[in-house]
Structure 1
Amino acid sequence: MTKITDSMRKYSSKVVDGIETAPARSMLRAVGFTDDDFNKPQIGIASTWANVTPCNMHINKLAEEAEKGANAAGGKALIFNTITVSDGIANGTEGMKYSLVSREVIADSIETVVGCEGFDGVVAVGGCDKNMPGCMIGLARLNRPAIFVYGGTIKPGAGHTDIISVFEAVGQYAKGELDLIEMKQIEETAIPGPGSCGGMYTANTMASAIEALGMSLPGSSAQDATSTDKESDCFRAGQQVLELLAHDIKPRDIMTRKAFENAIRVVIALAGSTNGVLHLLAMAHAVGVDLTLEDFTEIGKTTPVLADLRPSGKYMMSELVAIGGIQPLMKRLLDAGLLHGDALTVTGKTLAENLANVGDYPADQDIIRPFSNPIKKDSHLVILHGNLSPTGSVAKITGKEGLRFEGSARVYHGEEAALAGILNGDVIAGDVIVIRYEGPKGGPGMREMLSPTSAIIGKGLGKDVALITDGRFSGGSHGFVVGHITPEAFEGGPIALVENGDKITIDAETRKISVDISDVVLAQRRNSWKQPAPLYTRGVLAKYAKLVSSASEGAVTDK
């Protein structure tokens, strides 16, 4: 057990020592403090519990396990809540504009509570797409001893289904491949209980990235939400934050340049979400690490895609959990010289030390491919530049979609119009669907285009059309898709100037995205372009639109 010393109470001592702090002690007595507790380090447990989504409906119990662990190790834990939203519920609606915004609200709220209350250390428990990077950004800003705990993955629904099965069923129904009864059966059984979406979508991508970054305990990213392993993970995290306090190990000691390179490698090997690019850029900004889109390109050149996981593959996260999670994969990457083994982690040990005794996967598994037979020899996260995206965009191309697409632009202002065009048959083979004014400022909020991409797959057009946008994608999106196009349309980026019928070329091998019109014509169109009026002039969306940076910089609000 950690030896508790006064020096560990760096922040909480300011609110419990001395006659002048009697009011603070009185307040704390009311929430359960005893005299002995005033001499212990105070540990904040940031819980993202809410009943608005199955991803987070169980996190109150996990937060209580972290509280028990911190108390057992000699600290005094206090649980507080921050918000979460549900992308799966909001997708395809105006409400989805609040999703990426929630990342900033969560980071701000954790920073606010911990800073105000004077906690000495923090355990943050997150379970859905935005609350994970939101927690990490908050912890990074505070730079107090801290650990992140993932809430865990959901179990598969009936017939090996998940939330993406429901989105794609909409397209299958529109095509006539499903009747209403069949569609309702999928809808009723795809989400069986607590946990984050079951494929290598954004939640599991970010959980894996955070473990590779060194900010979660080994194994945290690959556990079922309702398992005893997950409860133990939370308890041990509560204990371990006291060890971090004792050795004065803080997030900025762990979240180094090498750590971010490790995280990028793991995300690529797992065929992770494009949102991983956006969030890792934002997390690096929070700790002052210089990370750019070009780093994803350079690291991606030597990192293969090895995991056959949904959405582009066939397996779910729970099946990867059953064969050992991501630890054996990380051991393989380390042995191949692709990870920095000397990177520090929240165990107080290096990554190499954590992985030293990790065994390999079972010989008969085919979820994680060997280096000799990768799904793709280099990254599926392809950073594209060109006259359509001078400052960069992000494509998710596993190779199954092909590596090059040429087609005619079919332009839509906003997601709703594009979805209608796909479902009613306006979109045909050979089209490049252009969805614009969905960027961080223009949306505002940079909605995910999950409904349109799922409808494309459901209608059987996955290999026949491409989709580009200044919005972003769900981790469940697949097909020939390019998002995060910058500069965005609202700022007069070239995507705002594309017209129906323009020829667009997307080339993953040369990493170019271009529209086949001259610079002269582009300049003429730009001269006649007028910036639309903001859609929101008050409230959180208006504030976000005024503060947010480009997606190529992580869409942060404090740059």
Structure 2
Amino acid sequence: MQSMAPTSPSLPVAGPVPRRRLQRVRAAAVSDEPKLNKYSARITEPKSQGASQAVLYGVGLTDADLRKPQVGVSSVWYEGNTCNMHLLRLAEAVRDGVREAGMVGFRFNTVGVSDAISMGTRGMCYSLQSRDLIADSIETVMGAQHYDANISIPGCDKNMPGTIMAMGRLNRPSIMIYGGTIKPGHFQGNSYDIVSAFQCYGEYVSGSITDEQRKNVLRNSCPGAGACGGMYTANTMASAIETLGMSLPYSSSTPAEDPLKLEECRLAGKYLLELLKMDLKPKDIITEKSLRNAMVIVMALGGSTNAVLHLIAIARSVGLHLTLDDFQKVSDQVPFLADLKPSGKYVMEDLHKIGGTPAVIHYLLEQGLLDGDCMTVTAKTLAENAKIFPPLSEGQQIIRPLDNPIKPTGHIQILYGNLAPEGSVAKITGKEGLYFSGPALVFEGEESMITAISENPANFKGKVVVIRGEGPKGGPGMPEMLTPTSAIMGAGLGKNSEDAQFWFLLLSEIVEFSKRREICTFLNTIQRIRFSLPTPFIFALSGAS
């Protein structure tokens, strides 16, 4: 497989912006010399703000520095997670690049949650909330400190939407730099990633592997820094945000430990300076059209269902309204093309080697699936960026052509029915068929399901698993059920037609409060559940029905 990954990030040149582009972004006239420090000037210029200025002198600023724009460099750094442990080093490179561009850069931090560590425990109840806590933290520091612009460096799943939500609310020139993906692990000729670590428990309880083999998988699944390697939530959101226009080209596909990631960090300040000069802000970039672009790449790459709730939240942060039905419309129009884990063979590092996310964007633009007129943080449009970068590597096997997709429509399907009267989100990758009906196995909480599969995995064969009490209110916090689903897959219960296939279904906030108790009571009585596509429904039968 020929590699066309660039040896250096030949990003669009950050330089003077033509007047015509300024007019496209802003209808109002823009001064030839815009005030770049219009927020920080509130504390650096008035004589009445002596205490503010004294503190800034105290941290090392000079008189000249006080006249420069100030940039908040926010990282979701902490040592206890491979996704985030390297972000402080990246933030330092970003700050240095900001200073080289003639601005003042100040690093600050926010908290994060490791989904891999907390998965399968009550700790997962904190995960989704951490997204909003990250957004609140960044907005708080940026607003209180009067920073003129922001560069955020997230790493793990909920980090990415959290940073973008803060940018949308603040609406000051901003760029997101993804911390990058992890490399796959290797042992005795086998390749591993984080889902290998999840699934090996199911393999162990089913007797497929020994305990020592299980431990070898765990020791070799995470070989260094970076987010989980497949098209899981982190890489999904990074790809969506790059296509949305809020990160630089290659940000989502460059691995965490690749030297190009540090170079991206050093270059970001130059691009941010141009955004300040143009007064090009997140609400100019995050539009209905660019949000559709983000949905398109999620469908094409087979991305996580978490993209649904995160993109809806991002849209809300800029005053736009995105619905479940919007995702279904895009899914009906965009095929599933990427042979990436968890449903496929390859990981994000492999995609990087054949051209990365820009090459995928290039291909989708050629096929008319993306709107190339949307603005990006390069101060150029998506189409203008794509012209600079090479297409997908010739002969590559990761991204299927449009006439030979993995699935002719998107893998994300919105299902309605008596079990989900206001909609649910299903991930249908094309291997499950169009119809499934099976007896229901209802569990009170995640732990009881894990206990049951540990004791008798064969009892799950051909069944539909329902786990109650794990939603936004019941969890609380809508903890993800990757441990149960991985145990099912690891036990070999999702591979064969005689197992009635395995449907991974995410039921979101699907009923209004007045109906919630009614639905929960109904779940106690169901005996069988039916799924159907392409007429999308999820229907439960109770009692003698």
TM-score, length basis structure 1: 0.88
Distance in 2, Cα, partners of 1:102 & 1:350: 32
Does residue 185 in structure 1 map to residue 213 in structure 2?
no
1:18, distance to aligned residue in structure 2 (A): 2.3
Decide which of 430, 450, 456 is 2:482's aligned counterpart. Answer: 450
Identity %: 48
Distance in 2, Cα, partners of 1:15 & 1:433: 57
1:400, distance to aligned residue in structure 2 (A): 1.2
Aligned residues: 510
CA deviations on 1:197-231 (whole Å, 9 max, x unpaired) are: 01000000000000000000111111010111111
Does residue 506 in structure 1 map to residue 531 in structure 2?
yes
Mapping of residues 354-503 of structure 1, within 5 Å: 354-425=385-456, 427-463=459-495, 479-485=502-508, 486-487=510-511, 491-492=516-517, 494-499=519-524, 502-503=527-528
**Residue 140 to residue 181, structure 1, CA distance change in 2 (3 Å):** same
SS in 1 for 2:333: coil
Distance in 2, Cα, partners of 1:292 & 1:465: 34
Does residue 139 in structure 1 map to residue 167 in structure 2?
yes
Distance in 2, Cα, partners of 1:156 & 1:58: 17
1:169, distance to aligned residue in structure 2 (A): 0.4
1:429, distance to aligned residue in structure 2 (A): 1.6
Match of 1:54 in 2: 82
Contact map agreement 2:332 2:410 (CA 8 A) in 1: yes
1:344, distance to aligned residue in structure 2 (A): 0.8
Distance in 2, Cα, partners of 1:289 & 1:14: 30
Counterpart AA for 1:432? V
SS in 1 for 2:192: coil
Does residue 308 in structure 1 map to residue 331 in structure 2?
no
Mapping of residues 249-288 of structure 1, within 5 Å: 249-288=280-319
Distance in 2, Cα, partners of 1:238 & 1:180: 49
**Residue 154 to residue 162, structure 1, CA distance change in 2 (3 Å):** same
CA deviations on 1:173-213 (whole Å, 9 max, x unpaired) are: 00111111111111111110100001000000000000000
Distance in 1, Cα, partners of 2:495 & 2:424: 20
Distance in 1, Cα, partners of 2:211 & 2:456: 19
Match of 1:241 in 2: 272
Distance in 1, Cα, partners of 2:221 & 2:538: 36
1:479, distance to aligned residue in structure 2 (A): 4.2
Counterpart AA for 2:232? Y
SS in 2 for 1:356: helix
Distance in 1, Cα, partners of 2:77 & 2:498: 37
Distance in 2, Cα, partners of 1:10 & 1:437: 49
Distance in 2, Cα, partners of 1:305 & 1:371: 9
Does residue 93 in structure 1 map to residue 116 in structure 2?
no
Worse overlay, 18-27 or 389-398: 18-27
Match of 2:91 in 1: 63
Match of 2:9 in 1: none
Contact map agreement 2:34 2:277 (CA 8 A) in 1: no
Worse overlay, 237-246 or 372-381: 237-246
Does residue 326 in structure 1 map to residue 357 in structure 2?
yes
SS in 2 for 1:160: strand
CA deviations on 1:248-306 (whole Å, 9 max, x unpaired) are: 00000000000000000001100000001110011001111121000111111110011
Contact map agreement 2:253 2:352 (CA 8 A) in 1: yes
Contact map agreement 2:436 2:530 (CA 8 A) in 1: yes
Contact map agreement 1:409 1:499 (CA 8 A) in 2: no
Distance in 2, Cα, partners of 1:196 & 1:177: 28
Counterpart AA for 1:502? Q
Contact map agreement 1:56 1:128 (CA 8 A) in 2: yes
Counterpart AA for 1:353? E
Match of 2:141 in 1: 113
Distance in 2, Cα, partners of 1:106 & 1:126: 10
Contact map agreement 1:388 1:495 (CA 8 A) in 2: no
Distance in 2, Cα, partners of 1:322 & 1:488: 46
**Residue 152 to residue 89, structure 1, CA distance change in 2 (3 Å):** same
1:37, distance to aligned residue in structure 2 (A): 0.6
Counterpart AA for 2:39? Y
Contact map agreement 2:525 2:542 (CA 8 A) in 1: no
Distance in 2, Cα, partners of 1:363 & 1:479: 34
Contact map agreement 1:152 1:222 (CA 8 A) in 2: yes
Counterpart AA for 1:102? S
1:88, distance to aligned residue in structure 2 (A): 0.2
Match of 1:8 in 2: 36
Worse overlay, 160-169 or 427-436: 427-436
Distance in 2, Cα, partners of 1:495 & 1:466: 30
CA deviations on 1:113-150 (whole Å, 9 max, x unpaired) are: 00000000000001110011000111110000000010
Consecutive unaligned residues in structure 2, runs of 5 or more: 1-13, 17-31
Counterpart AA for 1:482? L
1:428, distance to aligned residue in structure 2 (A): 2.4
SS in 1 for 2:54: helix
Distance in 1, Cα, partners of 2:207 & 2:229: 26
Contact map agreement 1:437 1:488 (CA 8 A) in 2: no
Match of 1:535 in 2: none
Distance in 2, Cα, partners of 1:466 & 1:143: 53
Contact map agreement 2:526 2:540 (CA 8 A) in 1: no
CA deviations on 1:23-80 (whole Å, 9 max, x unpaired) are: 1111112222111110100000011111120001000011111111111111100000
Match of 1:213 in 2: 244
Match of 2:56 in 1: 28
Distance in 1, Cα, partners of 2:276 & 2:526: 61
**Residue 71 to residue 246, structure 1, CA distance change in 2 (3 Å):** same
**Residue 432 to residue 332, structure 1, CA distance change in 2 (3 Å):** same
Distance in 2, Cα, partners of 1:269 & 1:2: 33
1:335, distance to aligned residue in structure 2 (A): 1.3
Contact map agreement 2:70 2:104 (CA 8 A) in 1: yes
Distance in 2, Cα, partners of 1:401 & 1:460: 15
**Residue 59 to residue 139, structure 1, CA distance change in 2 (3 Å):** same
**Residue 447 to residue 352, structure 1, CA distance change in 2 (3 Å):** same
Consecutive unaligned residues in structure 1, runs of 5 or more: 468-477, 523-559
Distance in 2, Cα, partners of 1:403 & 1:463: 16
Counterpart AA for 1:236? L
SS in 1 for 2:185: coil
More contact order relative to length (CA 8 Å, sep ≥ 6) = 2
Counterpart AA for 1:422? I
Aligned-residue RMSD, C-alpha: 2.1
**Residue 501 to residue 140, structure 1, CA distance change in 2 (3 Å):** closer
Distance in 2, Cα, partners of 1:218 & 1:397: 29
Match of 1:84 in 2: 112
Decide which of 66, 73, 77 is 1:38's aligned counterpart. Answer: 66
